[in-house]
Amino acid sequence: MSDWHACAAIVERGDPVRFRAAMAAPVEARAILFPIYAANIEISRAPWVTQEPMIAEMRLQWWRDVMEQIIEGDEVRRHEVATPLAGVLSHAGAEAMDRLIAARRWDIYKDPFEDAAAFTAYLEDTSGGLLFAVCDALGKADANVAKDAGYAAGLAAFFQAIPALEEAKRVPLLDGRASAIADLAKTGLARLKRASAGRLNLHKSGCIALWQTQPILAQAARDPGAVSQGRLDVGALKSSLGLSKAALLGRW
């Protein structure tokens, strides 16, 4: 099995949304999408596979070392994800992924975000950084557009994760009131709309994974109670139509 096919198996198990997005992309794009998406899964898992913060820090540092090797042009250690990742990630993409890894340190600890700016930076550096890295590897990426779209997509995913975060005794939101959640969702929708106006500055295949962002944020804005109750759901038909629209028309 080739390296990127092994990455595809990791994404299929760990991130069904991005797996569907990658499978909706042209075949030649999949060899780029799957290694980056698989790396994102491995990085995002690192803080959660152990109760020992030091071990989690070491796991994240391992990936930061990989990004440093890619940035410096050094040979990357043999690994089922790191090896194919090094073959597709650009210098700028590796820098974006390094910031993503640094942002994931928040996931190790149970402290709330320091302030609203810290929460915004977390979404921009994680989801936004991933989107930039993917689109840059595919050949077209605007950092500002990726930051806007990534913030929106990251917020939608974060909303969906809130029940699990609260169960794990985390404090996901600085203000969990319904009105504050609705306002956050509206901010995400506004940034997604702004990103959509500049969507030609991002590679279409890299943006397919955004297809559920708008309906999830719209539901959260309309029904903020669905966030804490774990009721955010696009629905099978709407999800399929949105995926087709994103893949064929580049509209999200």
pLDDT digits (tens, 9 = 90+) for 128-181: 999 999 999 999 999 999 999 999 999 999 999 999 999 999 999 999 999 999
Mean pLDDT computed over every residue of the chain: 96
- Model confidence at 2, pLDDT cuts 50, 70, 90, reads low
Average pLDDT over residues 201-205: 98
pLDDT, tens digit (0-9, with 9 covering 90-100), for 72-98: 999 998 899 999 999 999 999 999 999
pLDDT confidence of residue 84 = 95
Q: What is the mean pLDDT of residues 123-128?
A: 98
Q: Three-state SS across the chain?
A: CCHHHHHHHHHHHHCHHHHHHHHHCCHHHHHHHHHHHHHHHHHHHHHHCCCCHHHHHHHHHHHHHHHHHHHHCCCCCCCCCHHHHHHHCCHHHHHHHHHHHHHHHHHHCCCCCCCHHHHHHHHHHHHHHHHHHHHHHHCCCCHHHHHHHHHHHHHHHHHHHHHHHHHCCCCCCCCCCHHHHHHHHHHHHHHHHHHHHCHHHCCHHHHHHHCCHHHHHHHHHHCCHHHHCCCCCCCHHHHHHHHHHHHHHCCC
Residues 70 and 48: beta-carbon distance below 8 Å = no
Mean pLDDT, residues 23-41: 97
Tokens encoding 125 = 């550096």
Percent above pLDDT 90 for the chain: 95
Interatomic CA distance for residues 84 and 172, integer angstroms: 33
User: 66: which residues sit within 8 A by CB, 6+ positions away?
Assistant: 76, 77, 79, 82, 85, 86
CA 96 – CA 33 distance, rounded (Å): 15
Q: Which amino acid is at 238?
A: K
- pTM summary value: 0.96
pLDDT above 70: residue 1: no
Domain 3-249 has CATH 3.40.50.460: no
